[in-house]
Amino acid sequence: MSLQCPCCNSPKIASLRTATKISAAVGTVGGAARGASAALAGSQVGATVSAVAGPLGITLGTVSGAILGGLIGGAGGCAIGAQLGEKLDRHVLSNNLCLDCGYRFNLPA
């Protein structure tokens, strides 16, 4: 689908995607915090299992669990935040800008 300005019919359109960028960043931070929190809670079980390897095993199991949980949670939060932001950009905010006449508009529903 080729976008055209509804005011001047120009095909020179810029999509600003402001909400997508902001909500993806917020989702990443929230998801990483949630993932790390869940991983730290689960690391207690990992520490118990890793106790066989001694203190080093407990430490490595706990730290690696928190890091992996944060990374996985951050990726999931980013994906969900970007989807929400895309919906906001597409239907709520006027984030399409005509580069010829300067008119801002939404995509058709």
- Span 5-22, pLDDT tens digits: 889 999 998 888 888 888
Q: Does residue 88 have a pLDDT over 70? A: yes
pLDDT value for 12: 93
| For range 72-96, the mean pLDDT | 85
pLDDT value for 45: 64
| For range 69-81, the mean pLDDT | 86
Q: Does residue 102 have a pLDDT over 80? A: yes
Q: Does residue 39 have a pLDDT over 80? A: no
Contact 86, 68 (CB under 8 A): no
Percent of the chain having pLDDT more than 90? 13
Q: What angle do CA 34, 64, 71 make, to 5 degrees?
A: 40
